[in-house]
């Protein structure tokens, strides 16, 4: 049986509350090998980090097959809480919530033990990455570091005028 994982991260271009845009990235990993990687820029008025974190996971969920069974990894407890624990969707655009509802209805194992979630510590040091545990005691992952790096690349491209938001 294949082990499938979705890692996702979001970031900002500029500082809140005057962000220029948001960045997002995800990677789907099957048996330890990257299967699909995507990243990009979004522009939502008053973009926040919580919005970009959510968008990254939603884009990853959207790309998974209907019968996905695996684990969703994020360094955003707010995003995981909204997706899996029934937390309020404050300050998240309605179209994001609609996309979530579509994906939750489409994914056959949503709301079952077939889809799990794990909170990661973000931005680990090399030593923490080697140990597999971050400063807050949560797991860390090179895949999450890849997502963070992609967000930083998209931010730099946007600032240099090389990337257009969508």
pLDDT in tens, 30-58: 999 999 999 999 986 678 999 999 999 99
Q: What Å distances lie between residue 165 and 9, 104, 112, 130, CA to CA? A: 17, 26, 35, 35
Query: Is residue 65 very low, low, confident or very high in pLDDT (cuts 50, 70, 90)?
Result: very high
Q: Is the pLDDT of residue 166 over 70?
A: no
> What percentage of residues in the chain have a pLDDT greater than 90?
86
- pLDDT, position 79: 98
Pick the CATH number of 4-159 from 3.40.50.150, 3.40.50.300, 3.30.420.10, 1.20.120.160: 3.30.420.10
Q: Which H, E and C letters describe 55-117, residue by residue?
A: HHHHHHHHCCCCCCCEEEEECCHHHHHHHHCCCCCCCCCHHHHHHHHHHHHHCCCCCCCCEEE
Q: Is the pLDDT of residue 163 over 70?
A: no
Domain boundaries, the chain: 4-159
pTM: 0.94
């Amino acid at each position: 049986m294949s082990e499938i994982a979705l890692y996702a991260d979001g970031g900002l271009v500029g500082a809140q509350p005057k962000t220029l845009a948001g960045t997002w990235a995800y990677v789907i990993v099957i048996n330890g090998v990257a299967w699909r990687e995507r990243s990009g820029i979004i522009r939502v008025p008053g973009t926040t980090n919580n919005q970009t974190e959510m968008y990254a996971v939603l884009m990853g969920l959207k790309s998974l097959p209907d019968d996905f069974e695996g684990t969703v990894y994020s360094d955003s407890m707010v995003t995981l809480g909204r997706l899996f624990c029934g937390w309020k969707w404050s300050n998240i655009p309605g179209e994001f919530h609609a996309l979530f509802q579509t994906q939750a209805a489409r994914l056959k194992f949503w709301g079952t033990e077939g889809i799990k979630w794990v909170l990661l510590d973000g931005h680990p040091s090399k030593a923490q990455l080697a140990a597999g545990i971050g400063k807050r005691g949560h797991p860390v992952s090179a895949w999450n570091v890849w997502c963070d790096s992609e967000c930083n690349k998209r931010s730099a491209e946007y600032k240099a005028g090389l990337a257009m938001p969508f």
